Amino acid sequence: MSIQNSYNQWSEIYDSNQNLTRDLDQMLTRKSIAGQHFDSILEIGCGTGKNTIFLADIGAKVHALDFSSGMIEKAKEKVKAENVRFSIADLTKRWPCDDAEYDLVTCNLVLEHIQDLDHIFAEASRTLKPKGRFFINELHPFRQYQGAKARFEKVGETIEVDVFVHHISDFTNSAAGHGFTLVKFDEYWHEADKNKPPRIASFLFVKA
């Protein structure tokens, strides 16, 4: 099953499934950039809008992208803010955005499904204004080394979504190659993760 079809199926139960990584990401995103304001925000891989609601509060304009029509429809049901627009888009191709259009690009639990990080950082650099920021939360590669991946239960069946392992250096090297400077890196655990590897790797990059 393709990644796109997997997320279309997952969209019906994504918000109701127990998902510690999803919940931790949502909390960390709010904690990391709360109290700030941006004229324009691009959210790549918005899913069901779990972070879009928050971004609408801190951004004058928010453009939310996802390639899953099922996820986008759920997000539209949830997010009624007039300053948010949604687009179905394949992030592995050119994004439907103008050059130097945004102050902030956010990306949450998306890049494990994308093989070519260089394309992502190239598009983020293209669409960000000078000094614009690129905020990323991803499943920590230490978890991936142990076999962790996006999965969900449907009608008694476990469906695993195809993923790619990206090391920490893959993120930092690709970012540097496209004119970004790493200004903050953090590793986070859920409260249920005692004596386990970190669950989320969080990056904040600034475009030169």
Residue 14's pLDDT is what?
78
Give the DSSP H or E segment for 201.
Answer: strand 200-207
Residue 1 has pLDDT above 70, yes or no: no
Question: Does residue 207 fall inside a structural domain?
Answer: no
Q: Is residue 208 one of the residues assigned to a domain?
A: no
Looking at 1-49, list the stretches that DSSP marks H as alpha helix, in order from N- to C-terminal side: 3-10, 20-33
Q: What is the mean pLDDT of the chain?
A: 93
In a domain, 27, yes or no: yes
Residue 203 counted as domain residue: no
Residue 205: inside a domain: no
Q: Is residue 105 part of a domain?
A: yes
The residue segments making up the domain with residue 78 are 3-189
Distance CA 144, CA 187 (A): 14
Confirm whether 201 is domain-assigned. no
Q: CATH number of the domain that 137 lies in?
A: 3.40.50.150
Record the tokens describing residue 35, joined without a space. Answer: 């109290």
In eight-state DSSP terms, residue 161 is P
Q: Is residue 200 part of a domain?
A: no
**Greatest extent of the chain over all pairs of C-alpha atoms, in Å:** 49
Range with the lowest mean pLDDT among 7-11, 145-149, 192-196?
7-11
Written as six digits, the tokens of 131 are 């000094």
Q: Which of 56, 208, 41 is nearest to 135 (CA)?
A: 41
Residue 158 is predicted with a pLDDT of 77
- pLDDT of 148-179, one tens digit each? 888 777 777 777 788 899 999 999 999 999 99
Question: Tell me, what's the pLDDT at 10?
Answer: 66
Alpha helices in 34-150 (DSSP H): 52-58, 69-78, 117-127, 141-145
Give 86-117 pLDDT, tens digit per residue. Answer: 999 999 999 999 999 999 999 999 999 999 99
CB 166 within 8 A of CB 111: yes
Average pLDDT over residues 57-72: 96
Count of domains observed in the chain: 1
Instruction: Give pLDDT, residue 148.
Output: 87
